[in-house]
């Protein structure tokens, strides 16, 4: 065990013995521990000859709350530099804000997450170690400053984070950078402003504490750098001249991205579980359908579960299934149950776009980019910004467009044709295919890295022949959709034929068959002989005459008579009108009214 680690001492302040017991168990191998059950006892321990290196301070205590304890400790010169991590209840943002205003360094929430507690305590102790080390070096070498500069410089340059200083009078120009920062800078090391060089901004940072540091304060903060998108713990502190005045400002940056990502991953996982649970309660009441998708079979229940899981995240999703199985309906269901439901869902049939137009359609173009580009045109990615982009027949996209889509999906953005300004839309990708993607990868028609980006959540839509128990539900659904007047019914014999048919065209073929049955009073199925049905007994009697009034029955008889004469006369309107004894205009009006077509 590293004995230097045990030199650190932590004071745990909480009036609940159980909380103290949990924290002691988590930290006992990391450092020496003390405990206090009240605010007064905590102040006494902090003022002792052996003060703690770090204080974990509960907010809610009976005699003196954590805020008052913090205020007193920060007001006393002897204890003001001891970092304080507040202990607060989950979700009390007001507690956290007030604590930071009083000078707290960080906070942890109850119930305790071991990984978060250890990460935050370790960060504070590491900062204390670095700061203490640097301060000790400065104090030890003050007598002979000139002789110590080389050694102090080597220590600073060996530091794994970034260190820089700015002159007080030239507020933002960096006059010193440690070796790590110089290596990061490359050739540019002179006349650099910190807000531009480190944070990529064209004016001083909104979070810059220069005024407070110039007054002698040391400020600590955690920020996400807008330039490189990494998280840093930054300590801003004054640098004193020999006469005690403030000569410079020093900033120490420690990369804490790994810790932040772990914390955010835990929070995201918790939020995803919460949202998924909510959707399970609100969206699964009618298990025989999900939005526009109809089916109660076990394989469809699995599809519904996967839709809920996919809609609870922003992860890219791919839907596999034969043509006509309803892949687009699945994409719509995911979008309508996701956090993006109030934004656009842009549907793109990749197989219907000519290859030479793919790039301009996806990424847009600027006026004058090519002949005929007389105005700017937004591409699919820009139109779908903040929403969902559904890419049907994803396997039809060529390799060149795959590369550019991959960069856009990974956050690198893209340039519209004829533009040098990159766009970085926030788009959730849902794709679909009826092809074997892995076979396309083997044939080099799909890039493997592109596949792994779109294949985060796979959903498989079963063909209709594998869920025949859903056919009665689907047939009834399509009957209501295309015959809202309930003029038709499906007999047991017809339903038996529908169930035993293989449906190569899947649900789409079933819908078209039902629509034809309603329109033409004829059941047409590939490979099934219409002679198997007695049209008079099976089709005509399919009308539910007993449920209809006289005008409705007459309307059906008229429709059937017109259709029969049209078929007999090979759809000649003139002959049919003469046979029926009506004029041509009246016949055309009836054909349009009943939706009759060849």
Q: What is the pLDDT of residues 185-228, one digit of tens each?
A: 776 667 788 888 888 888 888 888 888 998 889 999 988 888 88
Residue 183 has a pLDDT of 82
Give the pLDDT mean for 78-84: 90
Give the CATH H-level superfamily of domain 5-113. Response regulator (3.40.50.2300)
Query: Which phi and psi (to 5°) does residue 98 adopt?
Result: -65, -40
Question: Over pLDDT 90: what percentage of the chain?
Answer: 26
What are 479-521's pLDDT values in tens digits? 888 888 776 778 778 888 888 889 999 999 999 999 888 887 7
Please name the CATH architecture into which domain 463-544 falls: Orthogonal Bundle (1.10)
C-alpha torsion angle, residues 278, 281, 282, 288 (rounded to 10): 140
Peptide bond just before 274 cis, omega within 30 deg: no
Here the tokens at position 438 are 């892995």
Q: Are 221 and 228 in contact (CB under 8 A)?
A: no
Give the pLDDT mean for 233-262: 89
What size, in residues, is the chain?
Answer: 598
Domain ranges in the chain are: 5-113, 141-260, 284-314+321-429+439-454, 463-544, 549-598
Pairwise pLDDT comparison (153 vs 367), residue with the higher score:
367
Residue 543 has a pLDDT of 44
Q: Are 380 and 346 in contact (CB under 8 A)?
A: yes
Q: Can you tell me the distance from the alpha carbon of 439 to that of 436, in angstroms, rounded to the nearest whole number? A: 5
Distances from the Cα of 205 to the Cα of 74, 190, 196, 227, 385, angstroms: 27, 20, 9, 12, 28
Q: Can you tell me the distance from the alpha carbon of 405 to that of 395, in angstroms, rounded to the nearest whole number? A: 13
What are 17-60's pLDDT values in tens digits? 998 999 998 888 878 899 999 999 999 999 998 899 899 999 88
Res. 364: pLDDT tops 70: yes
Q: Can you tell me the distance from the alpha carbon of 361 to that of 398, in angstroms, rounded to the nearest whole number? A: 13
Choose among 524, 528, 523: nearest CA to 540.
Answer: 523
Class of domain 284-314+321-429+439-454: alpha beta
One fold for both 141-260 and 463-544?
Answer: no
How far is C-alpha 321 from the chain's CA centre?
A: 24
**CATH no., domain 549-598:** 1.10.10
Give the containing element (helix H, strand E) for 221: strand 219-224
Residue 317 has a pLDDT of 96
Residue 431 has a pLDDT of 95
Residue 91 has a pLDDT of 54
Give the pLDDT mean for 452-456: 92
Residue 143 has a pLDDT of 56
Q: Can you tell me the distance from the alpha carbon of 220 to that of 234, in angstroms, rounded to the nearest whole number? A: 6
Give the pLDDT mean for 54-79: 90
Question: Over pLDDT 70: what percentage of the chain?
Answer: 87
Look at the pTM and tell me if it is higher than 0.75. no
Pairwise pLDDT comparison (561 vs 221), residue with the higher score:
221
Q: Can you tell me the distance from the alpha carbon of 255 to that of 219, in angstroms, rounded to the nearest whole number? A: 17
Which residues on adjacent β-strands are paired with residue 240?
246
Res. 158: pLDDT tops 80: no
Q: Can you tell me the distance from the alpha carbon of 578 to that of 562, in angstroms, rounded to the nearest whole number? A: 12
**CATH no., domain 141-260:** 3.30.450.20
Q: Are 293 and 333 in contact (CB under 8 A)?
A: yes
Residue 390 has a pLDDT of 95
Residue 41, C-beta contacts closer than 8 angstroms, at least 6 positions apart: 13
Q: Are 433 and 291 in contact (CB under 8 A)?
A: no
Residue 131 has a pLDDT of 82
First to last CA, the chain: 88
Res. 392: pLDDT tops 50: yes
């Amino acid at each position: 065990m590293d004995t230097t680690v045990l030199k650190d001492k932590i004071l745990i302040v909480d009036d609940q013995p159980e909380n103290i017991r949990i924290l002691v168990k988590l930290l006992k191998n990391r450092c020496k521990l003390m405990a206090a059950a009240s605010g007064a006892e905590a102040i006494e321990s902090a003022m002792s000859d052996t003060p703690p290196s770090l204080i974990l301070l509960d907010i809610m205590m009976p005699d003196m709350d954590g805020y008052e304890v913090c205020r007193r400790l920060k007001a006393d010169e002897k204890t003001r530099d001891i970092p304080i991590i507040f202990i607060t209840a989950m979700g009390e943002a007001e507690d956290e804000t007030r604590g930071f205003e009083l000078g707290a360094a960080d906070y942890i929430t109850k119930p305790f997450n071991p990984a978060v507690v250890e990460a935050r305590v370790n960060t504070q102790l590491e900062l204390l170690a670095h700061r203490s080390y640097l301060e000790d070096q400065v104090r030890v070498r003050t007598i002979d400053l000139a002789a110590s500069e080389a050694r102090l410089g080597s220590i600073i340059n060996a530091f794994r984070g970034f260190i820089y200083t700015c002159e007080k009078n030239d507020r933002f120009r960096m006059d010193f950078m440690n070796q790590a920062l110089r290596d990061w800078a490359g050739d540019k090391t002179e006349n650099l402003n910190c807000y531009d060089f480190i944070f990529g901004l064209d004016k001083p940072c909104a979070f810059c504490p220069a005024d407070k540091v110039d007054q002698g304060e040391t400020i600590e903060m955690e920020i996400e750098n807008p330039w490189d998108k990494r998280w840093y713990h930054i300590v801003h502190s004054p640098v004193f001249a020999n006469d005690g005045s403030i000569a410079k400002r020093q900033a120490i940056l420690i990369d804490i991205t790994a810790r932040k990502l772990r914390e955010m991953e835990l929070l995201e996982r918790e939020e995803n579980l919460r949202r998924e649970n909510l959707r399970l309660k609100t969206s699964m009441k009618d298990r025989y359908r999900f939005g526009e998708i109809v089916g109660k079979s076990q394989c469809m229940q699995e599809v519904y579960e996967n839709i809920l899981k996919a809609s609870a995240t922003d992860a890219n999703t791919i839907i596999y299934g034969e043509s006509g199985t309803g892949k687009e309906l699945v994409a719509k269901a995911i979008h309508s149950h996701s956090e993006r439901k109030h934004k656009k869902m842009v549907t793109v049939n990749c197989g219907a776009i000519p290859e030479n137009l793919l790039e301009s359609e996806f990424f847009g173009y600027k006026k004058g980019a090519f002949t005929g580009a007389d105005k700017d045109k937004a591409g699919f990615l820009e139109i779908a910004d903040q929403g969902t982009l559904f890419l049907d027949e994803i396997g039809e996209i060529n390799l060149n467009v795959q590369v550019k889509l991959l960069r856009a999906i990974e956050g690198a953005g893209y340039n519209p044709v004829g533009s040098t300004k990159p766009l970085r839309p926030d788009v959730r990708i849902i794709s679909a295919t009826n092809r074997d993607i892995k076979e396309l990868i083997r044939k080099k028609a799909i890039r493997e890295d592109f596949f792994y980006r779109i294949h985060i959540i796979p959903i498989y839509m079963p063909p209709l022949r594998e869920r025949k128990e859903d056919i009665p539900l689907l047939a009834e659904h399509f009957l209501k959709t295309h015959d809202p007047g309930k003029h038709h019914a499906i007999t047991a014999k017809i339903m038996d034929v529908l169930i035993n048919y293989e449906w190569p065209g899947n649900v789409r073929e079933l819908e078209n068959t039902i629509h034809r049955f309603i329109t033409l009073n004829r059941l047409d199925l590939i490979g099934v002989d219409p002679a198997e049905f007695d049209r008079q007994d099976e089709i005509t009697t399919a009308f539910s005459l007993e449920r209809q009034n006289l005008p409705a029955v007459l309307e059906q008889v008229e429709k059937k008579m017109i259709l029969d004469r049209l078929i007999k006369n090979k759809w000649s309107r003139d002959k049919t009108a003469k046979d029926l004894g009506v004029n041509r205009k009246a016949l055309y009006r009836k054909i349009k009214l009943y939706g009759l077509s060849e």
